[in-house]
Amino acid sequence: MIYLDNAATTKMYDEAIKAYVKAQEKTFANPSALHSFGMEAENLIKESRKYIASVISASESEIFFTKSASESNNIAIKSFEGTALTSKIEHSSVEEAFKNSKFTKVVFLDNDKYGFIDLDDLKNKLSKDLSFVSIIYVNNEIGCIQDIKQISKIIKTYNKDIILHIDATQALGKINCDVKALGVDMMSFSAHKFHGPKQMGGLYVKRDVIAKVKPILDGGYQEIISSGTSDAPSIYAMATALKKQIEADEYDYIKELNTYLRLLIKNNIDDYYIISPEKNSSPYILDVAFANIKAEVLLHMLEEEEIYVSSGSACSKGDDSRILSAIDLDEKYMDGAIRFSFSGEISKEDLDFTIDILKRSIELIRMVI
């Protein structure tokens, strides 16, 4: 099997699985319980919170655990009102949260053909009514990395009280997520994007913003902003996975794989367009569009050879990609976009095999169109 759909979800590290199982077997008490057994579970959470806080240069009291990055995004967005500013290439959880929020006005920023926000447009759209900005740090479909530090500088220079939230789901554990250096007030993240468990996420909230945040579910505020009994085993597994992801130090290797696949496509396939930019882009994601191709057909042909990719975001099934429309992709490529997303388990030999099957499949599809 060649799994190239890591932007959708990753395989849990063995270390994270072992940490989860051990915690389920040995530390399964309710962390809110007053007895010593419950305190053991609470200590696992404290240990995990301390580690994650250290990774992003935050205080432990600024880290909150949620069920997912989607919940984190919803909590952040639905805590505020007035006028909001966001991009046209956000994750669906951000887009939908804004539709169901208390904001009276949501303004969308322009971007270029690679998805990068137009900073002049940002400056022009700042207003006295603006209270909240939400920007995806690394785009989940095309991989562009926004200049969050510069975006923050522009916003905070205009009005330091404007809340800046970023969705760092595809960033944490892979690129720098130092919240102080980035200048952000809130940051969402998700464990299953860095080889941790699914249905486990988090939200960083700057200390002076915490009082403004509102939960979206009522009752049992164990995490203050997220209701429900805290899942100590999953939290512990998440911290374990993040530590392993960082220690793997695989960024340069992943970049090498990304560059290698770009070259293989260039040398073997005609009429394609590489959507993911070469610069300021996550090497973990490579989005490529092929002319005269139905991405879903190509995806299933690759699947027959146990090569797993995706046609855009796993969270935007059923419609033409908002992201590809937002970057004004040429119509002839719109139906043929395939996202390859890497992990440290992929080898160049895997990519050699993939390009052979990819080339053969594309030629077959084009013959019958």
Q: What is the pLDDT of residues 268-282, one digit of tens each?
A: 999 999 999 999 999
What average pLDDT score do residues 33-40 get? 80
Least confident piece of the model among 33-47, 60-74, 190-204: 33-47
- Output the DSSP codes for 161-178: TSEEEEE-TTTTTTS---
Specify the CATH number for 2-9+249-368; select among 3.90.1150.10, 3.40.50.2300, 3.30.70.20, 3.40.50.1110. 3.90.1150.10
> Distance (Å, rounded) from C-alpha 86 to C-alpha 136?
9
> Distance (Å, rounded) from C-alpha 246 to C-alpha 254?
13
| Helices and strands (DSSP H and E) totals, the chain | 12, 12
Given a cut of 90, whether residue 38 has pLDDT beyond it is no
What average pLDDT score do residues 162-181 get? 98
Given a cut of 50, whether residue 23 has pLDDT beyond it is yes
**Is the fold of 2-9+249-368 the same as that of 14-247?**
no
What average pLDDT score do residues 58-84 get? 95
| pLDDT score of 206 | 97
User: Between the CA atoms of 215, 221, 224 and 227, what dihedral angle is there, to the nearest 10 degrees?
Assistant: -50
Which amino acid appears at position 298 of this protein?
Answer: L
Number of other residues whose CB lies within 10 A of the CB of residue 330: 11
> Distance (Å, rounded) from C-alpha 119 to C-alpha 123?
6
| pLDDT score of 6 | 98
Q: Is residue 208 within 8 Å of residue 189, measured between CB atoms?
A: no
- 3 state SS of 3: strand
**What integer best gives the mean pLDDT of the chain?**
93
Given a cut of 90, whether residue 27 has pLDDT beyond it is no
Can you give the residue ranges of every domain in the chain? 2-9+249-368, 14-247
Given a cut of 90, whether residue 41 has pLDDT beyond it is no
| pLDDT score of 33 | 75
- Model confidence over 73-111: pLDDT tens digits? 999 999 999 999 999 999 999 999 999 999 999 999 999
* Share of residues in the chain with pLDDT > 70 (%): 95
Confidence of residue 217 (pLDDT cuts 50, 70, 90): confident
| pLDDT score of 133 | 98
| pLDDT score of 314 | 47
Given a cut of 80, whether residue 316 has pLDDT beyond it is no
Given a cut of 50, whether residue 335 has pLDDT beyond it is yes
List strand residue ranges (DSSP E) for 88-231, in order: 102-109, 130-136, 163-167, 186-190, 201-205
- For domain 14-247, is the CATH number 3.40.640.10? yes
Given a cut of 90, whether residue 315 has pLDDT beyond it is no
| pLDDT score of 368 | 80
| pLDDT score of 318 | 42
Confidence of residue 222 (pLDDT cuts 50, 70, 90): low
| pLDDT score of 271 | 95
By annotation, the residues acting in catalysis are 315
The residue count for the chain: 369
| pLDDT score of 320 | 52
